[in-house]
Amino acid sequence: MAHKVCLIRGDGTGPELVSAVETVFRAANVAIDWVEVEAGLACVEAGKPIVPDETIEKIREVGIGLKAPMTTPIGKGSVSPNVTLRKRLDLYACVRPVFSLPGVETPFKNLDIVIFRENTEDLYAQIEYMATETVAHSVKVISESGCEKIIRAAFEYARKNGRKKVVGVHKANIMKVADGLFLRTFKRISEEYPDIESWDNIVDNQCMQLVTKWSIYDVLVTLNLYGDIVSDLAAGMMGGLGVAPGANFGTNCAVFEAVHGSAPKYTGMNKVNPTALLLSGTLMLDHLGETKARADIEGALKATLMKGVKTYDLGGSATTSGFAEAICSELKG
Ligand code: NAD
C-alpha cells in the first residue's frame, strides 16, 4: 500500500528540487501517495496566510511531510513560513546528520555527526520590538521543558543508533540565565544515560573544534540559533548546502527538509543540487520503514557522484534534472 505523505513544493528552486526527488522515487518504485499542501511566498502572493490552517491540519492528519525550501518575504512584520510551520506543528527536534559522501572531496574525512537543534524557542520566538527609537530588543525564550525534550531526543537517538557520545552546546558563560537553564537540564538528563559519554562545550569553541577535531564528535545537541549556525557550518564541511539533509520531529508528526533555503537566484535555471532534498527524502523513507528503498536510492546517488556526475556547486556541470536522471540510470542498471 502506498504511504500517504504531505508535499510542499516550496518557493524559488523548490519545485525543481521536488521534481527531481519525484523522478528518483518513481525509478526506485517507492509507492508514495503525495498529498499536495500549500505554504510559503506563493500563498502570500495569492492573498492567503503564509501557512494556511488547512496545511497545518492536513500535515497533522497525515503525520508526515516532505517540504522543499520556502522563501521568507522581506518586509516589516513578515514571518518565516518555516518557523511558523515548525512552531504550529510543535516540530521541536530538528535533526541534521552530516557525513562524508563518496565523490565529494572535502578536507574533513570520515565525517559522521548528528546535530540535534531545538526548533521552536530561543530568539526564533520572533518577539522583537523597538525599545526606544534607536534601540531594538529581541527576546530569547528558553523553557526547561523545551530543553528537556530536545536533550532527551538526542540521548535516546544515541542509545538507539549505537552512538557513544552526546555533547551539549551552549553559551552559558555569557547568557547565564537562558543558556544556564539549558546547561543545567543537559547535566541532569545526562545522568540518566550513564552508557553514553557526555560533556558540554561553549558554542564558539565547538565551531573551532568541529573543523579541527571533527572525528571525536558523534551527537551534538543545542539551542535553536546555535543549531542553525553550527549545522550550516557542518553542511559546509560535508560539501556544501547542496548536499546536507534534515528532518523535523514532533510528538505526532515529522517533516523532512533540506538544510538549505530556496536559492532564489537560481529559480527556473535547472541548476541547483537536488542531493540535500533527496537525502531528506531517504531519511523520510527510513522513518516509513522503507529501508530497502532508502539503501537503493542512497547507493545509486553515491555511484552517480563517484562517476563524477555533479551539479555546479560540487564543481560539475550536471543540471538538476540531469543529475536525477543519472541516479535513475544507476537504479535501473
Ligand atoms: P540559501 O540556502 O537559499 O542559499 C545560500 C547559498 O547556497 C546560495 O549561494 C545558494 O545558491 C546556495 N544553495 C542553496 N541551496 C543549494 C542547492 N540545493 N544547490 C546548490 N546551491 C545551493 O540561503 P539564503 O540565500 O540565505 O536564503 C534564501 C531564502 O531561503 C530566504 O528567503 C530564506 O529565508 C529562505 N530559507 C529557507 C529555509 C527553509 O526553507 N528551510 C532555510 C534557509 C533559508
Order across the sheet with 3-8: list the strands.
32-36, 3-8, 64-67, 254-258, 245-249, 93-99, 112-118, 219-222, 165-170, 197-202
Least confident of 35-39, 82-86, 212-216, 260-264: 82-86
Residue 310 has a pLDDT of: 97
Q: Identify the residue whose C-alpha is closest to ligand 1 atom 38.
A: 261
Average pLDDT over residues 46-59: 95
* pTM as predicted: 0.94
* Nearest Cα residue to 115 out of 261, 241, 223, 258: 223
For the CA of 67, the closest atom of ligand 1 is 40
* Nearest Cα residue to 38 out of 14, 13, 4, 3: 14
Nearest-angstrom CA–CA distance, 60 and 294:
24
Query: Angle CA(232)–CA(294)–CA(93) in degrees, nearest 5?
Result: 40
Residue 196 has a pLDDT of: 98
- DSSP at 312: G
Residues 6+ apart with CB under 8 A from 200: 167, 168, 169, 170, 183, 186, 187
pLDDT digits (tens, 9 = 90+) for 54-67: 999 999 999 999 99
Residue 77 has a pLDDT of: 64
Please give the distance, rounded to the nearest whole angstrom, from the Cα atom of residue 231 to the centre of ligand 1. 13
> Which residue carries 549556525 as its cell?
229
Query: Angle CA(6)–CA(9)–CA(10) in degrees, nearest 5?
Result: 120
pLDDT digits (tens, 9 = 90+) for 168-180: 999 999 999 999 9
Residue-averaged pLDDT of the chain? 96
* Ligand 1 binding site (Cβ under 6 Å of any ligand atom): 69-72, 82, 241-242, 257, 260-264, 266, 272-273, 276, 313
Nearest-angstrom CA–CA distance, 257 and 281:
8
Average pLDDT over residues 137-162: 97
Contact of 2 with 31, CB cutoff 8 Å: yes
Q: Where are the alpha helices (DSSP H) in the chain?
A: 14-27, 41-45, 53-62, 81-88, 144-160, 178-190, 203-212, 224-238, 275-287, 291-306, 320-332
Q: Which domains does the chain have, with CATH numbers?
A: 1-106+241-333 (3.40.718.10), 133-238 (3.40.50.2300)
The answer to whether the Cα torsion of 8, 13, 16, 21 is positive or negative is: negative
Residue 240 has a pLDDT of: 96
Residues serving a catalytic function are 124, 171, 204, 228
Q: With cut-offs at 50, 70 and 90, classify the pLDDT of residue 76.
A: low
pLDDT digits (tens, 9 = 90+) for 256-290: 999 999 999 999 999 999 999 999 999 999 999 99
Q: Choose the residue to mutate in 243, 260, 270 for probing ligand 1, maximizing ligand atoms within 8 Å of C-beta.
A: 260
Nearest-angstrom CA–CA distance, 276 and 282:
10
Nearest-angstrom CA–CA distance, 187 and 173:
15
What's the number of CA atoms in the CB half-sphere (13 Å) around residue 198? Answer: 25
CB atoms within 10 A of CB 221: 31
Contact of 219 with 113, CB cutoff 8 Å: yes
Residue 125 has a pLDDT of: 85
Does position 79 have pLDDT exceeding 90, yes or no? no
Does position 247 have pLDDT exceeding 60, yes or no? yes
Conformational region of residue 318, where left means phi above 0, alpha means psi within -120 to 50, and beta covers everything else? beta
Please give the distance, rounded to the nearest whole angstrom, from the Cα atom of residue 228 to the centre of ligand 1. 13
Q: Identify the residue whose C-alpha is closest to ligand 1 atom 11.
A: 263
Q: Identify the residue whose C-alpha is closest to ligand 1 atom 4.
A: 263
Please give the distance, rounded to the nearest whole angstrom, from the Cα atom of residue 70 to the centre of ligand 1. 9
For the CA of 246, the closest atom of ligand 1 is 41
Sort strands 197-202 and 165-170 into parallel, antiparallel or unpaired.
Answer: parallel
Nearest-angstrom CA–CA distance, 233 and 14:
22
Q: Give the cell for residue 306.
A: 563517484
Query: Angle CA(150)–CA(60)–CA(228) in degrees, nearest 5?
Result: 35
